[in-house]
């Protein structure tokens, strides 16, 4: 049985109001109950991780996970923890060097083992690829919209008129 510090994050206030934070909490609590782990702390954050190198609530949760009262850190999903590969690797490395485990619930992943660490590293690279691909598609879509002729029928709205055949 491990004593874990839990972390849940959403990016926006509307996500706080829907079920995302409660969904993450339920998954973490169910996992801990099943695995026999104890939650010593639960941190919930509402803040976008995009473009940020540090987040105060995450930093505080990680510091608590490094303390003598905890054995590690747990979160519901990989994308809630780190927005890019480097930050994800830094978090796992810091925890591992402190003799602490990192658990990602939806992946059933524990980085306290060599195979768990390897799988975590590979999955971080795929998560980064997915994020970069999404950004690339969004940028391509915006560029396409900018290249289309604007209609003067509805000010402020741009669309392409395609006649019916």
Short-list 99, 97, 104, CA closest to 122: 104
Residue 80 has which token pair?
A: 């809630």
- Dihedral sign for Cα 85, 101, 39, 56, please: negative
- The question of whether 11 is a catalytic residue gets the answer yes
C-beta separation of 130 from 145 below 8 A: no
Under DSSP, the state recorded for 69 is: T
Query: How many degrees, rounded to 5, is the angle at CA 86 between CA 81 and CA 89?
Result: 65
Closest CA to 20 of 80, 106, 82, 102: 80
Burial class (CB in 10 A: 0-12, 13-18, 19+), 40: middle
Other beta carbons less than 10 A from residue 159's beta carbon = 12
Please list the active-site residues: 11
């Amino acid at each position: 049985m491990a004593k874990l510090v839990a972390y849940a994050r959403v990016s926006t206030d509307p996500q706080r109001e829907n079920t995302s934070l409660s969904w993450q909490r339920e998954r973490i609590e169910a996992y801990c109950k099943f695995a026999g782990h104890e939650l010593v702390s639960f941190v919930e954050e509402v803040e976008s991780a995009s473009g940020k190198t540090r987040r105060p609530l995450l930093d505080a949760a990680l510091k608590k996970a490094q303390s003598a009262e905890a054995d590690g850190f747990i979160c519901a999903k990989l994308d809630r923890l780190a927005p890019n590969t480097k930050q994800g690797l830094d978090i796992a490395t810091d925890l591992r060097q402190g003799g602490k485990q990192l658990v990602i619930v939806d992946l059933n992943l524990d980085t306290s083992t060599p195979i768990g660490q390897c799988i975590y590293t590979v999955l971080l690279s795929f998560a980064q690829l997915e994020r970069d691909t999404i950004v690339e598609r969004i940028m391509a879509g915006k560029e396409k919209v900018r290249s289309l002729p604007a209609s003067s029928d509805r000010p402020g709205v741009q669309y392409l008129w395609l006649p019916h055949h």
